């Protein structure tokens, strides 16, 4: 028996359930993070109770249908067939779970401050059903201190003691939708617990489904790990985005510079510019940490600057579209702009924080007529900030020729760039997607 867990305790009983895979695992929030995690636990032999407030999605899952592109319906149906997966929108059923994993959104407010309403609401829900012997693990990306400052007091207000009656941990999600090299099942899990017993149990739970876990000393340290990972990327993308603007003014091709610099076998890591950051974590995390840093009177000027640069990139792209149209004796107002790619990254159906949505908004504000094509997103659904009534248009030669400007936002593998360049009158390429197309180079403007 592990030294921090005594025989006959609530922790000992839960540890035995985890080791024998008789523990019921509940995942709260079955989106791009929660659903892959739920599937992994089901496929590793646990009974999984998925929970989401979207009753329609829960009905879909219970009927064997996936609503996320890289999670096949076949996988869902297989888990249902062996009785390992069930889904609900009734929070009282969370009392059935032995381990509860929280994967709810952590967006920004309109003033770019942390919106903790989803975590706070989840904490209140759990307080109503919390019982002795349950483990709660938060995976949502957030600032250091969230687990101990928001979840812990709410759960201990029930009269149950953390580390004795129930157990609380933080393990940052590291999901990368569409990545062919890494998946939920192969990515190491960082784990931090409020108490040593909390850490032991959380580590045992994740060790049952992933090959490697990385223990850290506290939930705050685990939360900081996620911040570092994503801010590292945000800062470096901000750097190349700023250099792109400068080099464009100087007549230097940023993509040529990056490729040449990438030949250095040490001291350089390749990052590429784009129309803005997308996905839930990277565009959001810097603002979570800078907000928290203000409580300690520590200005995070470097991180804030990177966030401002990345946030401003859609405005820069629109200015490049306007310049390109002007060079063809056309103005942006009334111009027909065809966006290629709406997802925030190639070959996924994920719209979270996609810069394409901000681009549509800015282009429409300036009077452009906007349409789009995306093989992975047939229709735009409502997001927390945007509600565009647009559907993907068939990418035909006629559609390309009819556009005053084709704006490449996401470089999906399905696109035939030679075909696109051949039939488009003008292209603004934010991803260097057309780099290997020999013909029609005079039509292409980089942004």
Structure tokens at 302: 């470097």
Nearest 5°: phi and psi at 321?
-60, -45
Structure tokens at 183: 């998946």
Any residues with CB less than 8 A from the CB of 314 and at least 6 apart, and which?
275, 276, 355, 358, 359, 362
Tell me how far apart the alpha carbons of residues 416 and 193 are, in angstroms, rounded to a whole number: 49
Q: Kindly state the helix (H) or strand (E) to which residue 257 belongs, with its residue range.
A: helix 254-261
Q: Is 5 helix (H, G, I), strand (E, B) or coil?
A: coil
CA-based nearest residue to 158, from 133, 128, 134:
128
Paired residues of 51 in beta bridges: 28, 88
Tell me how far apart the alpha carbons of residues 377 and 341 are, in angstroms, rounded to a whole number: 9
Distance of CA 354 to the CA centre of its chain: 10
- Angle at alpha carbon of residue 34, lines to 351 and 276, rounded to 5°: 25
For residue 283, what is the DSSP state? T
The one catalytic residue in 162, 281, 331, 405 is 281
CA-based nearest residue to 271, from 282, 284, 262, 260:
262
Rg from Cα positions in the chain:
24
281 is catalytic: yes
Tell me how far apart the alpha carbons of residues 31 and 324 are, in angstroms, rounded to a whole number: 39
Q: Kindly state the helix (H) or strand (E) to which residue 144 belongs, with its residue range.
A: none
Tell me how far apart the alpha carbons of residues 406 and 408 are, in angstroms, rounded to a whole number: 6
Any residues with CB less than 8 A from the CB of 394 and at least 6 apart, and which?
373
Pairing of strands 213-215, 336-340: unpaired
Q: Is 108 helix (H, G, I), strand (E, B) or coil?
A: strand
Active site residues: 281
């Amino acid at each position: 028996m592990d030294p921090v867990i005594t025989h006959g305790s609530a922790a000992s009983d839960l540890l035995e359930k985890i080791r024998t895979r008789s523990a019921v695992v509940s995942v709260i929030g079955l989106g791009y993070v929660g659903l892959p995690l739920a599937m992994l636990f089901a496929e590793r032999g646990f009974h999984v109770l998925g929970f989401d407030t979207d009753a329609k999605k829960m009905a879909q899952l219970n009927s064997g249908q996936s609503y996320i592109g890289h999670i096949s319906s076949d996988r869902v149906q297989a888990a249902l067939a062996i009785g390992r997966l069930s889904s609900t929108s009734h929070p009282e059923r969370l009392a059935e779970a032995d381990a509860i994993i929280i994967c709810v959104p952590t967006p920004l407010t309109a003033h770019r401050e942390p919106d903790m309403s989803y975590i706070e609401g989840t904490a209140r829900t759990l307080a109503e059903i919390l019982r002795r012997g349950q483990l709660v693990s938060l995976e949502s990306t957030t600032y250091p201190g969230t687990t101990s400052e928001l979840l812990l007091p709410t759960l201990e207000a029930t009269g149950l003691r953390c580390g004795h009656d129930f157990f609380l941990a933080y393990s940052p999600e590291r999901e990368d939708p569409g990545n062919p090299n890494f998946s939920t099942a192969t990515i190491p899990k960082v784990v931090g617990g409020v108490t040593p017993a909390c850490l032991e149990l959380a580590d045992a739970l994740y060790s049952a489904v992933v090959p490697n876990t990385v223990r850290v000393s506290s939930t705050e340290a685990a939360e900081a790990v996620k911040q570092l990972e994503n801010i590292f990327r945000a800062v470096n993308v901000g750097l190349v985005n700023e250099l792109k603007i400068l080099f464009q003014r100087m007549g230097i091709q940023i993509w040529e510079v990056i490729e040449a610099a990438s030949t250095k076998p040490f001291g350089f890591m390749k990052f590429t510019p784009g129309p803005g950051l997308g996905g839930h974590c990277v565009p959001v995390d810097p603002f979570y940490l800078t907000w928290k840093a203000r409580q300690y009177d520590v200005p995070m000027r470097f991180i804030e600057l990177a966030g401002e640069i990345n946030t401003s990139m859609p405005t820069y792209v629109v200015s490049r579209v306007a310049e390109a149209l002007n060079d063809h004796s056309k103005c942006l107002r009334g111009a027909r702009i065809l966006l290629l790619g709406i997802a925030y990254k190639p070959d996924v159906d994920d719209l979270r924080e996609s810069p394409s949505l901000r681009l549509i908004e800015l282009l429409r504000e300036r009077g452009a007529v906007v349409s789009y094509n995306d093989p992975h997103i047939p229709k735009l659904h409502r997001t927390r900030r945007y509600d565009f009534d647009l559907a993907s248009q068939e990418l035909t030669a006629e559609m390309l020729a009819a556009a005053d400007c084709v704006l490449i936002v996401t470089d999906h593998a399905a696109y035939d760039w030679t075909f696109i360049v051949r039939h488009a009158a003008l292209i603004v390429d934010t991803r260097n997607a057309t780099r290997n197309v020999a013909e029609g180079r005079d039509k292409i403007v980089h942004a």
